[in-house]
Structure 1
Amino acid sequence: MSPEPPGHPEPPAPRSRSGTIGRHSARTGSEPVTARSPLRLRLLLSGIFLPVFVAAAALFALWARASGPGGSPHRAVLITIAALCAIIAFLAVVDLLVVVRRLRRERGTGR
């Protein structure tokens, strides 16, 4: 039970406890006490490279579709590159969602 009245929003989670599980191991003393993840940089990089890798996946897929048998590079290579670009784009989407959730939690505007 929380001592706060019902409907009162929780204070934002501090950066040290903003992970889904919390601290994974005790501090060893060698890392800075105020170390923070560069969330805004991750947001910027994911936002920039998401459309780049989506476009690359689409272009390689179209190239693979248009390439004939015995073409160079081989169709299987183009399909593999397109799949890798799509996987990286998916990871960028996941990272965007995680970063946005953590930033909202820090600001106290999370659900």
Structure 2
Amino acid sequence: MRTGSEPTTARSALRMRAWLSVWGLVWAIFGTVAFSLAGRPGWAAACGVLWVVVTVDLALILRHLRQGPHYQPGRDIPPYRPPERRHP
């Protein structure tokens, strides 16, 4: 329910989240390769799982970015009235 006190200049942090996911993806790939070469299969597997999680997160972020902005009511739209309570 809208209260009318929402910020008028609110922005989504999807771009920042995308860049942080790219940063995490680089480190997850580096960790997987480095631990594999060092003979640490447990740590390599942990970094590999992290690699998969970050890749899925990045795909979802990019999907949301491609969807574009969604409709948000402007200043000329009044806030919704709270539902009226009926007492029996």
TM superposition score normalised by structure 2: 0.62
Cα 1:105–1:86 shift into 2, 3 Å:
same
Q: How many residues align?
A: 67
Q: Which amino acid aligns with 1:41?
A: M
Partner of 1:46: 21
Provide structure 2 residue ranges, at least 5 long, that are not aligned to the other structure. 71-88
Identity rate of aligned residues, in percent?
31
**RMSD of equivalent CA atoms:** 2.5
Give the TM-score normalised by structure 1.
0.50
The Cα of 1:59 is off from its aligned counterpart by 1.0
Q: Distance in 1 between matches of 2:21 and 2:34?
A: 20
Match of 1:20 in 2: none
Unaligned runs of 5+ in 1: 1-25, 65-77
The answer to whether the aligner puts 1:105 opposite 2:67 as a matched pair is yes
